[in-house]
Structures are given as C-alpha cells and as structure tokens.
Structure 1
C-alpha cells in the first residue's frame, strides 16, 4: 500500500505529504504548530488543524517504530515514511538513525538493489533518473569499499563500547585519543549514510511526483539527482584519503643518489616538482633544510607541506625516482641515468606523537649556515643539527634567522622522523605494511622519467604513464597519485 511521505521542499517553506486515498497536498510550514515532543525518541510531532494526536504504542529504540492515529504526522529529521496500519494506526520509520539498518525506499529498494538491477548509465545530459540513480549507487558502493565499511563499523562498535566505560577518563590521554577516533569514524559513517538516504529520498519523490503528475516536484528531484551524481565523484576521491594520518600535513624529503652532480641536479628538479605541486593545491610550503651540491642541485632537502590531506596525497610519492636524459653536464652529450629518493613523513600534531623525546638523549650541534651569504647568513652559528643518540636519527635546520627558531624547527622534524620509525616498528610487529612506511632503498624504483630518446613518464607500480614529462616536472602529479591510491585500495580489497 502506498505510504505517507512527508518532505520539506528545497525552499524550506513547504511540507509535501501524500495519503494513499488523497492527492498530494502542500502545507505551509508556518501553519504547522508543534503539539507534542517525545522526550525518549526526540521525535517532534506536528499538526496543522488536524485531529488531536493519539499515541497508540511505541516499539523499542532499535526499531525506531511508533504507532499513531491516522491523522497524525510525525516529523523525523528531514524525511519520514508513514505506513497505514491494518488496525487503523500509522507506522512511521526513521531512516538513518541506526547505522546497522539498511536504508531503503518506501517500496524496499536499496542501493545494492539498484546496482543489482543493472540500470543503464547514460551521459549526465540525458534526463533519465534511473541512470543518475545507478551512477550514484555505484559511487556509494565504491566509497564503502574504499572506507572498508565492515571494518569501519566494527571499529566504531568497539570504540562506542570503550567510550561507555565509566573509568575511561581515568587516563585522559587515552580517552582523548579514543574520543577523537570515534568522532572521526562517526563523521565518515554519517556522511555516507546521509548521501545514501538522500538518493533514496529523491527516488521516492520522483515516483510520487509521477503518480500525482506533479512536474515541478519531479523536476526538483531530477536536478537534485544530477547534482548528487556530480558530487559523488568528489566523494569517491575523499574516500581515497581515509587513512589514520591522511588528513595531516607532512614533510617531504628528497635525497640525491649515486652519480654526483647529475643526481644532485635531478634531486633539485624533483624537489621543485613537489613545491610546485603543493602550491597548486593551495598548501603552504616551507624549506626546513637544504644541503646544496658542490656544482649544481642539492644533496638533500626537506620541505614542510602545510594543509589538509597533504600527507594523504604525498604518501603516494615515497620511493626512488629515476631519470633518463642527455646530461647537461656531459660535454660528450651522452645519456645518463640518475636517481633521487623521496620520503614523506606525517606531522601528527600535538597529543598524537608516539615517541617521547628526553633532552638527555639529544646532542645539539651548532654551526654556521651555508648558502649564498648576506648580512646575517654565514656570520653566526645559527644553524642547528640535533642527533637522537639512541636511534642515530638526525634533523637539521638552517633557514631561520635565529638559532632558537632553527632548533625549534629541527625538533619538529626530529619528532616526526621518530614517530615514523615507531609507526614502522608497530606495523612490522603487526605484519601490516603500507607504502608510506616502506624502507627507502635504491632498488625500490616507483617511477621512471624518460627525456631521451623518447619522452615519457611511467609509474612502475600502476603502469600509468603520460607522454608529456614537462607537465609532470611542473607539478602535474594528480594522475599518478590518484591512480596509485586507487590501485592500492583495490589490491588491499582483493587480498582480504
């Protein structure tokens, strides 16, 4: 039997509802007067000159069902479905309040059902609601796959149980960590559920509009589906960056390989490529450390990339980058092969570090900064190198004006490097390996840049390639990054 459907229009001034024996009616929201608020379920019951509310019964919270008199309207967030009870009441079900409950339309159609129906997907310009719905449903499945939906829900249940423990806040640091993770996962779950619910709502509204020959309502929902179809691609991209530290800023380190001046020049080209890429994305770029080569290029350099999801994108660049070209430093114009290693380290931020650094474990060395000189540079021992004695990890900074600023910056780099080592150690212990934590070695080539005898850049992990190396060296890395992130998730899914 057709349900009651009640939904606020996009303009916000109308509520639209239907009863199976009457035609669609529009009711001004200003005429709706709250008559009842159920404190247990937080459901607001509204009426507009309708008969008095008679609440027959209420089922348990997990079911989110209640029985009301025929003339009652129950407002459940934005959309709610009222089904006629054979005994005279109306059942109202709220969608999306329980994550475990599968969302569906009023006639039981789910996202999986839409995909299983294999509706033909045509271009966006075609006014076909089934095509739009099928494209959106496929995107929702991709998003859930990338978020590892079942694991996410299981983890959410564990964190919820942990948060309900009465002694949780006896350890504020642990409690804060649990609370942040729970909030992050809950936000991801709610966002996907809301998108899924919106799709099913508009399908119901289109069916209702066609039954009632309401072209305005149908057009409104068609436009909404088209907008959702376009937005779904952005949401698929966001789902690629669902790792624990993907939202962090990061350090990008580049080090020249064997090969002298040729490799140092290549390392400088790689570092410039990342600076340009970062600025294209609106990230802040700060040079933390740079050791120039004797003739050209750099021996090594570290930059800080500030911005949301900087690490999530940049982690795809970890590894060895290989260049093949006619050397500008070879008078014989011979072809040379050069290597540069790239490391990416997340900046975890306050309260998220894994390693506590003791001052007694540090050796601080001060020296004169290198560079082109000037009124201040090279005149005082403002550059700082900090050595973590137990691990041998070092961090250097010489680009700030004062020794105090250089020491603070070097400490931040050192903290991130030690955190990365600790994450790598834990990952090894748990037999979990991620590309962003793999050991950087000269046999671990991820990408080849060929400038002679032909022109091509090819990623050896995904086989993605482009024939315009100049655009890549000018920072156009998104194709390589997104292909790698997508293939990594697909590979992980296949191995589970």
Structure 2
C-alpha cells in the first residue's frame, strides 16, 4: 500500500503548492473583511454595492470550499492507505485517479484570473473569405462549440443568427452560461482556417475558407467597468429577416444598436419579443465595449515594449485540414491533433489547456 500512500502524498503536495500560488492567506483575509463589512448596519443602504460584496463573498467561499474539500478527501484516503489494509486497494486506486483528474481541472482554473474569467461568454461567429464554403464552415464551427458547451453541461442561448444564401450561416452569436465559460473560450478568439475538398464545387477542388470567432464576457448592466450613456446610442427597430413563411416576423421586433462614440453596431432578431432582443443586443454591446478597452490596453503596452503587430484577417490561430491529410493544428501553441472529427464534435479541451498553459 506504500505506492498509494506516496500517490496521495504527491496529491497533497500539489494542493499545497497550488494554494500557495493562489495566495490563500490573502483570500482568507479578504473574505473576513468582506463578511465584516456585510454585517454593518448600513450595509444594505447601498443595494448595488451590497449585491457586489455578497457575490464576492459567495465566489471566494465557493472556491475555498472546493479546495479544502479536495484537501480533506486526500487526507482521509491517505490515512486509509496508511493502514495497510489491502482490501481497500481497489477503492483507493479509483479515488486517487478521480482526485488526480479533479486536481488537473482545478489547476487549469488557477490560470483563469481575469475579472470575467469565471463568468458566462458571448461567442460570435462570422464567415469570411470563401463564399458558400466559408458560410458552411461557420455552421460547422457553431456546431463544434455547441457540442463542446453541451459536453460541459453549460446552458446555451442563441442571441442572433443569420442564415447563408445557399448553405451554412453568415453569422451567429450565442450566450454560453456556466462556470469559467469566458475564461476557457477566450482561447478560441481569432481566425479559424479550413482546408478541404469543397462539396459546393462541381469540380470537387480543394478550397480554403476563413471564419472569425469573437469571444466576449457577459458584462452585467450594473457593472461599473462599462459606463453606457443612453444619449450615445442609436436604436433602430425593424422586421426580422428569415427563410420565409412562418419564420418571418410580421411585427418589427429586431433591434440594431449603434454606439456613436465607437461606431460599434450590434443587432439581435432571434426573439419574438422586442424587449428581449434589445436586452440581448445590450449584452453584446457591453461585452464589445469591454473587449475594446482590453485591446486598447494591450496595444499601448505592446507599443511601449516595441512588440505590437496589428492582427490581420489572414493571421489564423488554428488550421483544420481535412484534405490531403487530416490534422487540426493551433499555430500559437503548435499543439495538433490528427482526429479531426473528434475536434469538430467538440473535443477542444486539450487545445484550450495548451493555450492557457502557454499564455
């Protein structure tokens, strides 16, 4: 049983090191401070601030409970392994394997420390160069991300979708709700390139298609990071376009919002309710304004370091080659996988983890 004792000891050491990396003492101190603040007599007089504080308390407490729970499990099973009773070997080996998997996943979350990394994500897909092939490729990518989200148990809501003329989609925006959805999906932002024999070419020649993937955080309306002045918005209401028949809205429910200071335009026509479409469009607008802030900060820092390069359409982050060979390769990390069908079915975790570790 000494081999299992050593295995649990390694797990305990990894947990200790990761908790030190997370600056656990600082987290505990902050939690105590926030709890004390929440007990004050005037705490709920500022409802907006109170809700933000309570959310912080909940987030920190949940994170600590998760780590302490895993640590306690390791200690309990280590004691059992130390007893030397071989009748527990099978159970202990199963538990050790499960805890190693749990710790691997938790270790990845330590790389997600951005202000919105723990929250939901707005994922937009826009077909680019390649005509009908690109629109079909956009639909393939949408399916890939839906499968990935479903496999993780995330909730999915379609915000906006525009169909292609012959096949596929021109664009789509979906809201993916679940823990760390934005933190993980940030790895997917960029141009995705497909090489294959075109099913839309009568000569069946090889075509290259490009699709732009945009990933934004879901920024709450009351978030102080984004200050939206209603006077800066131009809101247009129009009838939804569709495939015809019952799919076309007879009433004007689609929403287009233009943010005058930045020129950002967002639209939503998926819901039958004008109010819901407006709310969803505002979600996307807040996310894009936050992303714009990040881009400006990164550009300024990079220019100071002398390393800034403008991102162009052709600078793809990942290539999916279906002909003349099968390969998906991420050009940022050099991670690659030969099972293209598995990737297109949503098997993206290894690409995401490689990106996070590399970053």
TM-score computed with the length of structure 1 as normaliser: 0.60
SS in 1 for 2:317: strand
Q: 1:282 deviation in Å?
A: 2.7
> Aligned equivalents of 1:386 and 1:310: distance in 2?
25
SS in 2 for 1:382: strand
Q: Corresponding residue for 1:410?
A: 281
> Are the aligned partners of 1:139 and 1:236 in contact in 2 as well (CA < 8 Å)?
no
Q: Corresponding residue for 1:253?
A: 124
2:247 equivalent to 1:379: no
Q: What is the 5 A alignment of 1:22-421? A: 128-137=3-12, 139-140=14-15, 143-144=18-19, 148-150=21-23, 153-154=25-26, 157=29, 160=32, 169=43, 173-174=48-49, 176-178=51-53, 180-200=55-75, 203=78, 209=83, 215=85, 223=91, 227-241=95-109, 242-243=112-113, 244-349=115-220, 351-352=222-223, 354-375=225-246, 377-421=248-292
Q: 1:163 deviation in Å?
A: 6.7
> Are the aligned partners of 1:264 and 1:296 in contact in 2 as well (CA < 8 Å)?
yes
Q: 1:277 deviation in Å?
A: 2.2
Q: 1:428 deviation in Å?
A: 6.2
Match of 1:456 among 287, 307, 327: 327
> Aligned equivalents of 1:439 and 1:227: distance in 2?
49
> Aligned equivalents of 1:198 and 1:284: distance in 2?
30
Q: What is the 5 A alignment of 1:432-471? A: 441-471=312-342
> Aligned equivalents of 1:476 and 1:176: distance in 2?
37
Q: Corresponding residue for 1:486?
A: 357
Compared with structure 1, are the counterparts of its residues 374 and 282 closer, same or farther at alpha carbon in structure 2 (3 Å cutoff)?
A: farther
Q: 1:338 deviation in Å?
A: 1.4
Q: 1:360 deviation in Å?
A: 1.7
> Aligned equivalents of 1:278 and 1:440: distance in 2?
27
Please, what is the CA RMSD of the aligned residues?
A: 3.5
Which consecutive residues of structure 2, in runs of 5 or more, have no partner in the other structure?
303-308
> Are the aligned partners of 1:326 and 1:333 in contact in 2 as well (CA < 8 Å)?
yes
Q: What is the total number of aligned residue pairs between the two structures?
A: 347
> Aligned equivalents of 1:468 and 1:459: distance in 2?
14
Compared with structure 1, are the counterparts of its residues 269 and 161 closer, same or farther at alpha carbon in structure 2 (3 Å cutoff)?
A: same
Q: 1:383 deviation in Å?
A: 1.6
Q: 1:466 deviation in Å?
A: 1.8
Compared with structure 1, are the counterparts of its residues 300 and 481 closer, same or farther at alpha carbon in structure 2 (3 Å cutoff)?
A: same
Compared with structure 1, are the counterparts of its residues 293 and 142 closer, same or farther at alpha carbon in structure 2 (3 Å cutoff)?
A: farther
> Are the aligned partners of 2:239 and 2:251 in contact in 1 as well (CA < 8 Å)?
yes
Q: 1:177 deviation in Å?
A: 3.6
Structure with more of its chain in helix, by fraction: 2
SS in 1 for 2:292: helix
> Aligned equivalents of 1:234 and 1:439: distance in 2?
39
**Which structure is higher in RCO with an 8 Å CA cutoff and minimum separation 6?**
2
TM-score computed with the length of structure 2 as normaliser: 0.80
> Are the aligned partners of 2:219 and 2:286 in contact in 1 as well (CA < 8 Å)?
no
Which consecutive residues of structure 1, in runs of 5 or more, have no partner in the other structure?
1-125, 432-437, 489-496
> Aligned equivalents of 1:296 and 1:376: distance in 2?
17
SS in 2 for 1:445: coil
Q: 1:232 deviation in Å?
A: 3.1
> Aligned equivalents of 1:201 and 1:367: distance in 2?
62
> Aligned equivalents of 1:201 and 1:270: distance in 2?
44
